[in-house]
Structure 1
Amino acid sequence: MKKVFSALALLLITAVGATAQRPGSVQWSASAKPATHAGEYVVALHAEVENGWHVYSAKQSSGGPLPLVIRVDQGAPFSLDGAITGTSPIQHHDASFNLDTEYFTGTFLLNIPVKSTTQGSGEIPLAVRFQMCSDTTCMPPRTIHLVAKVNAS
């Protein structure tokens, strides 16, 4: 019986340890509203970065971290239509890269202008590629896919 309890305890500790060691995370969400002209939209991309981590912005020097890239999924009846605006990134000299970098921490919002290339479905599919780091660890770049549903108001 003692061996059974020991085995169960070891299994539980291993499972909890594997979960606790999961690296930083970012929670992403997106919604869209019609813009000024017919067929134009503004996608609000909202991100919440886990404390102690940061996501690099779209503007990075060569040889540094991979920049944030936001695209409309291939084959969708939408395209990007202008400059992305929103939360200003933090500018910082990163000793790991020996370069000036830009990144976001905490909660940030990016406004992405999009236009319909045909009669859209009311859902704008996005691909967001990003790299995130802490002060000691960088994660490999990831791509997530989101759908921004168009709100009429």
Structure 2
Amino acid sequence: MRCATSVFVVLLVCVAFAQTEKPPQPVQVSAQLGKPDAEGRQVLTVTITIEKGWHIYANPAGATGPIPTTIRVETATPLREVQVAYPPGKAKTQAGETFRVYENTVVIPVRIQRTVVNGQPDTSPLTVTIRYQACNEQVCLPPRTIKFSVSQ
């Protein structure tokens, strides 16, 4: 009976550790904001670094099903324009479908035009929201949305 109890406790501890293990985070994101011109135009450069062996889906992904990478930029004062220049990505075929992915490092420029108030472009921080899904050859992680602030 003691042996059975000991085995049960060991199994319970193993299950507890397995459930608390954090999922891998193979994607790192950084952003740099250029200076605005007199008309409030500036470029936000988003850099996504993906661990070797992993990929995220490009935008557009090119197939139905994969979740494409998206970038949304907002600020307290509405932006006049936001243009995200998604690179085409690399073609990848799996399970008979072809889709486009980003691997290693991808740089995505986002051109924005801020509202000009009293002759000066708004300088409030930008709120950047990025959504992506990371996969490797064995598994796809759940889609992830990250939100952060970028200031001058």
Q: 2:99 aligns to what? A: 101
| Cα distance, 1:136–1:72 mapped onto 2, change above 3 Å | same
Runs of 4+ in 1 over 4 A off after TM superposition: 17-21
Structure 2 counterpart of 1:117, from 100, 115, 118: 115
Structure 2: state its 5+ residue gaps: 1-8
- Provide the identity percentage: 24
Deviation (angstroms), 1:22: 2.7
Deviation (angstroms), 1:147: 2.0
1:82 aligned counterpart, secondary structure: strand
Q: How does 1:1-153 map to 2 (within 5 A)?
A: 15=17, 22-34=23-35, 38-73=39-74, 75=76, 77-78=78-79, 80-85=81-86, 88-95=88-95, 98-119=96-117, 120-150=122-152
Q: C-alpha deviations, 1:36-86, integer Å up to 9, x for none? A: 662011111011112211111111235230111111147553355335155
The two structures, once aligned, show a CA RMSD in angstroms of 3.2
Q: Distance in 2 between matches of 1:48 and 1:82?
A: 21
Q: Distance in 2 between matches of 1:99 and 1:79?
A: 38
Q: 2:5 aligns to what? A: none
Higher mean C-alpha displacement, 110-119 vs 49-58: 110-119
Q: 2:6 aligns to what? A: none
* Contact 1:72–1:80 (CA under 8 A) maintained in structure 2: no
Q: What TM-score, normalized to structure 2?
A: 0.73
* Contact 1:24–1:53 (CA under 8 A) maintained in structure 2: no
Structure 1: state its 5+ residue gaps: 1-6
Q: What TM-score, normalized to structure 1?
A: 0.73
| Cα distance, 1:21–1:127 mapped onto 2, change above 3 Å | closer
Count of residues in Structure 1 that have an aligned counterpart in Structure 2: 143
* Contact 1:76–1:124 (CA under 8 A) maintained in structure 2: no
